[in-house]
Amino acid sequence: MFTNPYVRTIFVSRVFLQLGIWIRNLAVLLYVTDLTHNDSFYVSLISVLEYAPIFIFALLGGTLADRWRPKRTMVWSDAISAASVLAVWAALALGSWYALLFGTFLSASLSQFSQPSALKLYKKHVPAEHFQSVMALSQSLVAVFMVVGPLVGTFIFIQAGIHLSLALTFVFFLLSALTLATLPRDVQESQTAARGTLFAEMKAGVRYIAATRALRVLSAAFAAAGLAAGLIQPLLIFIVMEKLGMEKSFIQWTLMINGAAMLIGGMAIMGVAKKIKPQVLLTIGLLVSAVCTVIVGASTSVVLSLAMQVISGLFYPCIQIGIQSMIMRNTEAAFIGRVGGAITPIFMGMMVIGMLLGSYVKEATSLFTVYAISGGLLAVGAMLLLPLLTGSGKRVLEQGDPPAASSR
């Protein structure tokens, strides 16, 4: 795979980008919790600003990826992200820490235009038989940084503070942009005139999902899982401090253990994934996550809580592989970008709602109640998939539904 210049270059740029993202995210989280005395509202707000752009811009970014030149889009996205870090650093130096929140939102927004462009380059320049391996490589990189990222980000913030953390974030974002600039020049496509309006293309993607049974069911399960994930996503730091009685810096070890388990689980599951239906993988992953979530919310034992992080991490790749495989198997090539761009906001939109509600539910009830509700929602998501365990989920063309070729 690394003999392919596109795979090699994008992989290296993603290493730099992941380093910058993790250093920034941990620095912002730890700095804001220090400044606000562990205010759960601001902890939740940080997570909302990180994930809300996925809900807002995913469909738009996926559609525009078919129109814009991918290399230019990726280079400019990372370059603007780097410039925004400098602006945030200047504002912070003048005493405005709220600029940290704006910088987080802007960088996350730009990534919604960069990521679909990378997929477009893979589609054009990677042989079809290697595409799944490239996707697995990308997932493995994310899992590696689930282990390394929290350690690096926490260490740099504790040792050097917020200003050096932002400086390093700028450097890594800039290195990512410079790396992508070495890609071969984009080839100007000549079919722009044949395309419909932007809104029409976005609408066609949504209609395609509505006409495909498996994608409709996946969307409903995604909504339940997204709400479940959002409720507890900002609250792990309170599990560490309130339930386990540890310092907040212990969160890095929790994330590292979960990330290491994800990496091991991904390698193990990839060997048998072809023999198991994707909806079965997804159902298993959701059910195991549901049980682990409830136990984590109830546990006051460090050993038990970490064991649940290991188990949930081992089975988390079932969810990722199941989702990707279901989309790939039930979507025509012409709609891959728009389907992904339409389904992802369903998950992320519900996740953002969960993030907004999580801290309020915690204050009104208890931390365990939030985790119990989250576990129940994951179980609901698994139950919604049951019709697909025996059904085919094939696309049904309704009267008047245009064929794929005419919608491009």
Query: Is 196-396 in CATH node 1.10.150.650?
Result: no
Which residue in this structure is represented by tokens 């504002």?
91
Which pLDDT score is estimated for 341? 75
Token digits for 83? 């410039």
pLDDT of res. 193 = 42
Q: What is the DSSP string of 166-186?
A: HHHHHHHHHHHHHHHTTSPPP
**Average pLDDT over every residue of 72-84:** 90
CA distance 370 to 244: 16
What pairs with residue 395 in β-bridges? 212
Query: Per-residue pLDDT for 116 more than 80?
Result: no
Q: Could you tell me the pLDDT band of residue 156, with boundaries at 50, 70 and 90?
A: very high
| Residues carrying CATH 1.20.1250.20, the chain | 1-182, 196-396
Residue 182: band (very low, low, confident or very high) from pLDDT cuts 50, 70, 90: very high
User: What is the pLDDT of the chain when averaged over all its residues?
Assistant: 82
| CATH fourth-level superfamily of 1-182 | MFS general substrate transporter like domains (1.20.1250.20)
Tens of pLDDT, residue by residue over 326-372, are: 776 777 766 766 777 778 778 877 887 888 888 889 989 999 999 99
pLDDT score for 13: 95
Q: What is the 3-state secondary structure (H, E, C) of 322-349?
A: HHHHHHHHCCCHHHHHHHHHHHHHHHHH
For position 349, what pLDDT does the model report? 78
Residue 393 has pLDDT above 50, yes or no: no
380 vs 36: which has the higher pLDDT: 380
Q: How many Cβ atoms sit within 10 Å of the Cβ of residue 391?
A: 12
Count of CB atoms situated within 10 Å of the CB of 9: 18
- Per-residue confidence (pLDDT) for residue 399, from 0 to 100: 35
Cα dihedral 96/97/98/99 (nearest 10): 80
The conformation of residue 242, written as its DSSP 8-state character, comes to I
In contact, 359 and 43? CB cutoff 8 Å: yes
Q: What is the mean pLDDT of residues 56-74?
A: 79
Q: How many residues does the chain have?
A: 408
Q: Which residues of 360-390 are buried (b: 16+ CB within 10 A; e: fewer)?
A: ebbeeeebbebbbbbbebbbbbbebbeebee
Q: Which of 80-89, 123-132, 147-156, 399-408 has the lowest mean pLDDT?
A: 399-408
So what's the pLDDT on residue 166?
92
